[in-house]
Structure 1
Amino acid sequence: MTLTIYGCHRSRAARNVWLANELGISFKQVPVIQAYRLADPDAPGAPLHTRSPEFLKVNPNGHIPSIDDDGFVLHESLAINLYLARKHGGPVAPKNVQEEGLAAMWALWAATECETHALNLTYHLAAYPPEKRDPAIVAAALAALPAPFAVLDKALAEGGGYVMGGRFTVSDINVAEIIRYAKPAAQLFDAAPNVKAWLEACHARPAFKAMWAAREAEAA
């Protein structure tokens, strides 16, 4: 049986690679790149990208990541992680139906409450060149994120430093990979010390470090 992850490390596929590393499962990675990162996606010899006909046969939405797990195709990085954890089990997986509900809740919470604003901080404080940065977008993100950061900070304090179950689980990966985008705004983490310590602990894990080393080795 073969797991194939479609997507480059510099994408949400990083979440799936991190979890696969934690689970100790082997996988093949097909480095599909985002079409918007290419000057001319239609140029002869362009790398495989999200609008390539070959990839659109896998995911007609034209987004990464996707997986093919021995013929079962699934999209959406957070859902992929919940599926892989459920399939392979172990301590990172939900241990009962209540934890399955919590894992789904935290994935949706991170995606809806945090991701857009956190990504805007990455783009407009770090990734974009200065001429493309918008202070109004930064201000909106900095106004929106303290409340969910406080929610997460309290949950971590009550959960022994973890998102759910008093142990490191798939929920820590799913939430951490979204909260990571807000790192350019250090003031958010200074105001939420449990979040800061938790994210540092997540990033100290060997499975994360292996994924991040592969990401750093990948073309920007």
Structure 2
Amino acid sequence: MLTLYSYPALFGVADNNGYGLKVYALLKLAGIGFVHEHLFDASAAPRGQLPYIVDDDKTIGDSDTIIAHLFAKYRPELDRGLTQAERDTDHLVGRLLDDLYWVMSYSRWKDERYWPLFAAALRREHPHLTETGLVKAKEYNAQRYHFQGIGRYAPDAAYARGLADLAVLASLVPASGFVHSAKAGSVDAAIYGFIANIHFYDIDTPLKQFVSAHPRLVRHCTEIHAAIT
């Protein structure tokens, strides 16, 4: 049996991190059976990062590597028949989501306007988390942001970067159906992983305000959410 290890749920989504949630959504959309285990400490994970899967005797980390494994082994119908141009679009969207990730994470762990609300939500939904553990995670993330670069941005400049990413997604997602057809594909699972962690996030950040103001993003997110929950 395949087991997905990812971060805990928050605000009604199965993983409060976009990468784990995109793998979760793809597994659900593809109809691949799995067990879902939640972790907060990623130190024992491959490369010290979540998500990862254990599939029979294989341990695989990195969301894109996981998804490539799932397609190679289980051959789901998702993405069958896509043109090379459509696959190129999917690749570009993946890189855009990599950029958006940092701004989303910054809004939770770095921006002091929202950090207390985020920490309170984590403690409320996961009472085993301690104040000491959360502060340690906050400090660790601050170090990551500094070396990645986003931590050197003022909040308005950081959000401008994320809002530009969201504007591209708002143009890409259609008024009905999904990115390439009437059925959701892997790119839709990836977009959902990140947009759901903004749309269902119960803290009014600039990212959430943008998504709430764009019905196509909300519709795309809520349709996939309904299909996989």
TM range (shorter): 0.5 to 0.7
Which residue matches 1:146? Answer: 163
More relative contact order in 1 or in 2 (CA 8 Å, sep 6+)? 2
Structure 1 163/110 Cα, relative in aligned 2: closer, same or farther at 3 Å? farther
1:15–1:177: 8 Å Cα contact kept in structure 2?
yes
Which residue matches 1:76? Answer: 62
1:5–1:66: 8 Å Cα contact kept in structure 2?
yes
Offset from partner CA, 1:108-163 (integer Å, 9 cap, x none): 22112x1111233344434135xx9x9x8643343223322221121113x84423
Identity of aligned residues (%): 20
1:155 aligns with 2:172: yes
Using structure 1 for the length normalisation, give the TM-score.
0.65
1:94–1:100: 8 Å Cα contact kept in structure 2?
no
1:85–1:94: 8 Å Cα contact kept in structure 2?
no
Offset from partner CA, 1:65-123 (integer Å, 9 cap, x none): 112323333211243234324543444334346244333332222112x1111233344
Q: Which runs of 5+ in 1 are unaligned?
A: 36-49, 210-220
**For 2:119, which of 121, 124, 128 is the aligned residue?**
128
2:25–2:193: 8 Å Cα contact kept in structure 1?
no
1:192 aligns with 2:191: no
Give 1:96-111 correspondences, 5 Å limit: 96=82, 98=84, 99-111=86-98
* Structure 2 letter corresponding to 1:163: V
**For 2:31, which of 24, 34, 38 is the aligned residue?**
24
Give the aligned length: 181
Structure 1 81/151 Cα, relative in aligned 2: closer, same or farther at 3 Å? same
1:171 aligns with 2:162: no
Give 1:20-99 correspondences, 5 Å limit: 20-31=27-38, 33-35=39-41, 50-51=42-43, 55=44, 59=46, 61-85=47-71, 87-96=73-82, 98=84, 99=86
SS at match of 1:74: strand
1:68–1:74: 8 Å Cα contact kept in structure 2?
yes
Cα distance in 1 for partners of 2:108, 2:94 equals 20
Using structure 2 for the length normalisation, give the TM-score.
0.63
Cα distance in 2 for partners of 1:164, 1:82 equals 19
Which residue matches 2:196? Answer: 180
Cα distance in 2 for partners of 1:76, 1:100 equals 19
